[in-house]
Every structure is written in structure tokens, then in C-alpha cells.
């Protein structure tokens, strides 16, 4: 009579142990997954700044530069060179810089700096307004 209760208790104990094992394993697996993702992506950083771009050296590979600068904005061909552009174009600052890293045979040959102005278009007149300049006065007669 009591053996039936003991057998049920053993089965219940087995399920209880499995449940605790799964409950403990899920956070460990998640933590391990986040750690792997962090090691793969979290340790890379972007140095697309005037000071940071100076860490690039002639002869670096595209993989080395990509690890430092991240993904380029675009690719531009210049003769035998492949030039990748890096930077953050914006219309908040009056002037912004975009860098071109040029490669020959998969190695850095040149780093160029391009400075751009963020001109605006006056919607009323359709004219271009230089950064930092007030819009042209509206002509009441026109």
C-alpha cells in the first residue's frame, strides 16, 4: 500500500529535478549567448573622428580597417584604387567631414579627408541658403 505512494513520489521528484535543471540552465545559456555576442560585436568600436582616423596605417587590410571603423558609407572607384567612405553626414552641424580610405590590392594606400557644408533650401523661394546664413528676405511684391 505504501509502495504506491513511494513510486509516485520518486516520479514527482524526478520531474522536480528536471524542472530545476532547466530553470537553472536557461539563464546560463542566455548569459553565454550574450557573452559570445558581446565578444564578437561589443569589443569593436568606431574611431571615425579626426583623432581616431590617425590610427590607420598604410598596409592595413580591409578587415583591420573594418574592425576599427565599422561598415563604410559607400564605395568609390578611383582608377586602380577602391575607396571606402566613412563618417557621419548630418544637417545639424554647418560642416561635417567624411573620410575616404583607399586600397590597392586589399591594403590601405591613402586616407583622404573631405569637408562638406550642409546647405539648406528655402522652401518659399527654392534658393540655397549657406550654413549659418539667414534665409533671404521674402519679396512682398513677387
Beta strand 120-121 with 107-117 is unpaired
Flag whether pLDDT at 1 surpasses 60.
no
Cell of 19: 524542472
Lowest average pLDDT, out of 63-67, 76-80, 90-94, 119-123, goes to 90-94
Task: Quote the DSSP letter at residue 114.
Answer: E
Instruction: Report residue 17 as a C-alpha cell.
Output: 529535478
Q: Residue 96 gets which letter from DSSP? A: E
Helix (H, G, I), strand (E, B) or coil at 32: helix
Instruction: Give the chain's domains with CATH numbers.
Output: 44-121 (3.30.1450)
Q: pTM to 2 decimals?
A: 0.53
98 contacts 89 by C-beta, under 8 angstroms: yes
**Given the C-alpha cell 549659418, which residue does it identify?**
132
pLDDT in tens, 76-91: 888 889 999 998 877 7
Mean pLDDT of the chain: 77
Average pLDDT over residues 41-61: 73
Q: Is the pLDDT confidence value at 16 over 60?
A: yes
Task: Judge whether residue 11 has pLDDT over 80.
Answer: no
| Separation between Cα atoms, residue 132 and residue 12, nearest integer Å | 76
Q: Is the pLDDT of residue 104 over 90?
A: yes
Question: Is it the case that residue 46 has pLDDT exceeding 80?
Answer: no
pLDDT average, residue stretch 35-46: 57
What are the beta bridge partners of residue 117?
95
Amino acid at each position: 500500500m505504501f509502495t504506491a505512494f513511494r513510486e509516485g513520489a520518486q516520479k514527482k521528484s524526478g520531474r522536480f529535478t528536471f524542472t530545476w535543471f532547466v530553470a537553472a540552465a536557461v539563464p546560463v545559456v542566455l548569459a553565454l549567448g550574450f557573452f559570445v555576442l558581446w565578444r564578437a560585436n561589443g569589443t569593436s568600436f568606431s574611431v571615425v573622428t579626426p583623432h581616431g582616423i590617425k590610427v590607420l596605417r598604410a598596409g592595413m587590410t580591409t578587415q583591420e580597417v573594418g574592425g576599427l571603423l565599422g561598415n563604410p558609407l559607400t564605395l568609390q572607384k578611383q582608377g586602380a584604387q577602391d575607396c571606402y567612405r566613412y563618417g557621419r553626414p548630418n544637417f545639424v552641424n554647418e560642416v561635417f567631414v567624411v573620410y575616404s580610405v583607399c586600397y590597392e590590392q586589399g591594403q590601405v594606400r591613402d586616407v583622404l579627408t573631405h569637408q562638406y557644408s550642409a546647405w539648406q533650401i528655402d522652401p518659399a523661394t527654392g534658393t540655397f541658403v549657406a550654413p549659418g546664413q539667414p534665409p533671404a528676405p521674402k519679396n512682398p511684391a513677387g
